[in-house]
Amino acid sequence: MLSEHKSLTLYFPSFSYRQRKMSKLKVGVIGLGIQGETQVKAFKSIPNVEVLAVCDSNQERLKLIKEEYKIQKAYANYLDLVNDKEIDLVSVCTPDFMHYEFVMAALRSGKHTIVEKPMATSTKEAEDMVSESKRRGVYLMVNFSNRWSPAFRIAKDSIEKGEIGEILHAYSRLNDTIYVPTSMIKWASKTNTLWFLGSHVIDLLLWYFKDEVEEVYGKKVSKLLVKKGISTADAYLAMLQFKNGEVALLENSWVLPLGEPFIVDFKMDLVGERGAIKIDRSHHGMIKKITNERYEMPDVLRNIDEDTITFVRDGLKALVDAVQSDKTPPVTGEDGLKVTRIVESIIESSEKNAPVKV
């Protein structure tokens, strides 16, 4: 409980990981659902990292993960994990609406922290996290893992090289079949498709445009899931207006039919002054680059094992490298805060039926 923080004496390390010159960065993972287990696998494959402890309130799940991955320590209470003096880095993989309590406890105990997207489900919570990380002098990273997904990395490299010129407008959709809110996760009513999916896309758009979102106009559809007793919107569609005049369109749905060949439908089009990039994560030729000179289809699966574990691992390794070299992580708490503000503004706009300044 949040109220517990006032009465607990949390451990505050007096020296940094770098000063200890330890051979391995010791990690604790809180939340052992799909993403938590994925991170345990990923961290265990990174050199100079030890997954020292895991935590989950489900005792059966906790025992299973501890034994299967040969983890030394298992905690049912997250406060025991964040207070473990051996742990250097805490990863929070709990459901969307539960991030705040666990992240704040980890930061207050002086741990470097990574939190799954969305960083938080309110701007105030995200602001608190950023402030606390600065107060404690520890790193805070949000796991926007798609920055390391091969197709999106290629797109970033192309943009940085100037191959398509300045981006003018973009369209992106990241949708799930109805299986996700009705069966895969049990807490869909406590979040929405914008937090769950839209946060990924908004981070990528900010990364590509390198500009601030000035205004949003959002619409939502709320029919099917409510009829099924799940109190969350079916879909959000939004327009993002950037300060320098660019525009992006965003679509996030949780009600695609079960007959879709994949659970996830992820597509993005980026149109620039001299070319365009088209990404479709649903098939082998998932990225296309078009310029005035040529049309390319980079084969991202030829040399890269395109599987979630791979790019999640790459993102986690980037954080590990940052902590071990005492450098700012590639995705910061401030990045997560920007995304949180935008998502909250789209939700507000959809309720007001009017544009909202971010």
- Span 261-293, pLDDT tens digits: 889 999 999 999 999 999 998 766 677 777 777
Q: Is the pLDDT reported for residue 145 higher than 60?
A: yes
Do 292 and 156 share a structural domain? yes
Residue 332 located in a structural domain: no
Q: Backbone dihedral region of 231: left (phi > 0), alpha (psi from -120 to 50 degrees) or beta?
A: beta
Do 23 and 138 share a structural domain? yes
Residue 250 located in a structural domain: yes
Q: Is the pLDDT reported for residue 46 higher than 70?
A: yes
The reported pTM is: 0.88
Do 290 and 171 share a structural domain? yes
- Provide the pLDDT confidence category of residue 12 given band limits of 50, 70 and 90: very low
Structural domain total, the chain: 2
> What's the CA gap between 330 and 335, in Å, rounded?
10
Q: Is the pLDDT reported for residue 141 higher than 50?
A: yes
Ranges 59-63, 308-312, 323-327: which has the least confidence: 308-312
Do 132 and 51 share a structural domain? yes
- Cβ-Cβ contacts under 8 Å for 219 (sequence gap 6 or more): 236, 237, 238, 350, 353
Residue 27 located in a structural domain: yes
Query: The tokens 């790193």 sit on which residue?
Result: 139
- Provide the pLDDT confidence category of residue 207 given band limits of 50, 70 and 90: very high
pLDDT at position 285, please? Answer: 63
Contact assessment for residue 225 and residue 181, using Cβ atoms and an 8 Å cutoff: yes
Q: Is the pLDDT reported for residue 224 higher than 80?
A: yes
Of residues 304 and 232, the one with the higher pLDDT is: 232
Do 259 and 176 share a structural domain? yes
Alpha helices in the chain (DSSP H): 17-20, 34-44, 59-68, 78-82, 99-108, 123-136, 150-160, 179, 193, 199-209, 224-227, 308-324, 333-352
Do 167 and 86 share a structural domain? no
Residue 310 located in a structural domain: no
Of residues 76 and 8, the one with the higher pLDDT is: 76
Residue 51 located in a structural domain: yes
Paired with 171 in beta bridges are 249, 269
pLDDT at position 283, please? Answer: 65
Ranges 81-85, 92-96, 306-310: which has the least confidence: 306-310
pLDDT at position 2, please? Answer: 35
pLDDT at position 307, please? Answer: 55
Domain span at residue 252 reads 150-304+339-357
